[in-house]
């Protein structure tokens, strides 16, 4: 994954195993904080994160046309910020990547899957609050 340094604008490649770590810009050596936002994921990035993540991963399966998904988006973003360094949040658009939705048996959205060490810890369909998402991640 490529992240821009907020200080100098340099592009930094961050391997999946370090998305939850604090690092340094390769150019100016400024601190690069842990990933603090939901990451739009394709199958390659999804698999890389699951193989290498040292922290729990919350996956939000969603679609642009889904009203409840749009309602959940602010809480998904907030939980990504709140849990930065302790969890990774991925977003998977089921219209763009139906194979990922099928892999997890997603039949209704929004659908939230929590994974740890590549294994499903919990799966919850329907609109959920930030507090519920936090509980799922903390339990993992």
For the annotated catalytic residues, the residue numbers are 66, 69
CA atoms within 13 A on the CB side of 3: 24
Q: Burial code of 73-99, b = ≥16 C-beta within 10 A, e = fewer?
A: bebbbebbebbbeebbbbbbbbeebee
Query: What phi, psi does 89 have (nearest 5°)?
Result: -115, 125
Tokens encoding 4: 């821009």
């Amino acid at each position: 994954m490529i992240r821009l340094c907020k200080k100098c604008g340099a592009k930094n490649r961050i391997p999946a195993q370090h998305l939850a770590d604090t690092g340094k810009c390769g150019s100016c050596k400024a601190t690069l904080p842990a990933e603090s936002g939901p990451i739009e994921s394709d199958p390659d990035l999804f698999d890389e994160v699951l193989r290498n993540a040292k922290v729990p991963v919350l996956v939000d399966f969603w679609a642009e046309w889904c009203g409840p998904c749009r309602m959940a988006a602010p809480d998904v973003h907030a939980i990504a910020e709140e849990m930065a360094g302790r969890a990774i949040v991925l977003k998977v658009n089921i219209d763009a990547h139906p194979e990922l939705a099928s892999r997890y048996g997603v039949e209704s959205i929004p659908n939230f899957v929590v994974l740890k060490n590549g294994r499903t810890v919990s799966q919850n369909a329907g609109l959920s609050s930030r507090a519920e998402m936090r509980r799922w991640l903390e339990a993992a």
